[in-house]
Structure 1
Amino acid sequence: MKGQLTGMTGVYLVAAELSRRGFITSPTSRSAQGADLLVTNIYCSRSYAVQVKTNARTFNFWLMGIKNMSIHSKTFIYALVNLRKDRTEFFIVPSRIVAENLKVSEPSKRRKSTWYSFSIEYAKPYKDKWEIFK
């Protein structure tokens, strides 16, 4: 699956799951920075911005960007998705946890740019933690 299709698949799977759980969910423009989904409860009394990161090949980390180190709030949530062949995994992680635990990998002989990544080890406690959306 190509990168953009992988990302879109993750966004729509998260949107479908949130809708199934009773939330109103709307994808943002694919070029919007930050939030991939805007989510509210049925009373419009609680709203969330959700950034979705999706993997289809490597499943032990998600690539992020330098901005992910500084963007966090109680209503900004990451939905980290692994599209495994036999199942889909969801990790629903508060943005503060992502910001505090990003790994910075400096450029090397094999990689010309700095990588920012979030390890599955930090995500595991948040597997299927949909209740973060109260």
Structure 2
Amino acid sequence: MEEKNLQVTSNVGLYYVCYKLSLQGWNAMPTARNAKGVDIIAYNSDCSKMISIQVKTLSKRNAVPLGRDLGKVMGNYWIIVNEIDKEPKTFVLIPEEVKKLAEKREKEGQVSYWLQVKSYSNEEYFEKWDRIGEI
């Protein structure tokens, strides 16, 4: 598949997650793009439970950039989608897990946080869609 720009890659992952949530009976809706906050709001069939999700999409199996501050790690769930151009693989985490696993880097006085592949790419999180709604 030809290389896509980051916005298109992000959109593919966003709608893939909405598709997967819909298969589980959630009504999933993307939020306004490029707005600060969560990427998806979803509610169950009887509207008794609502959840918010941040989605990080990568075309390859790479580390996830988390930004300069872990305060932007929010929502009820974090779903990492990688290898979106091939056979997507998903990892379902909660924000507390993302924060705990984050690695801090400093370069030329600038701080950034990253979620390394070895931290999120394991059986505990791999395709664990059944975690959605439990927490």
SS of 2:107's partner is coil
> Relative to structure 1, is the Cα distance of residues 52 and 70 closer, same or farther in structure 2, using a 3 angstrom cutoff?
closer
> Relative to structure 1, is the Cα distance of residues 91 and 64 closer, same or farther in structure 2, using a 3 angstrom cutoff?
same
What RMSD, in angstroms, separates the aligned Cα atoms of the two structures? 1.9
* Identity value in percent: 25
Partner of 1:122: 119
Over residues 29-85 of structure 1, what are the superposed CA-to-partner deviations in whole Å (9 max), with x where a residue is unaligned? Answer: 01221200001111111111100001113x13111123435745xx61001000255
Over residues 72-120 of structure 1, what are the superposed CA-to-partner deviations in whole Å (9 max), with x where a residue is unaligned? Answer: 5xx6100100025531100011110001121111115xxx843311122
SS of 1:114's partner is strand
Q: How many residues get paired?
A: 128
Q: TM-score w.r.t. structure 1 length? A: 0.85
Structure 1 consecutive aligned stretches of length 4 or more whose deviation exceeds 6 Å? none
Partner of 1:81: 81
Partner of 2:29: 26
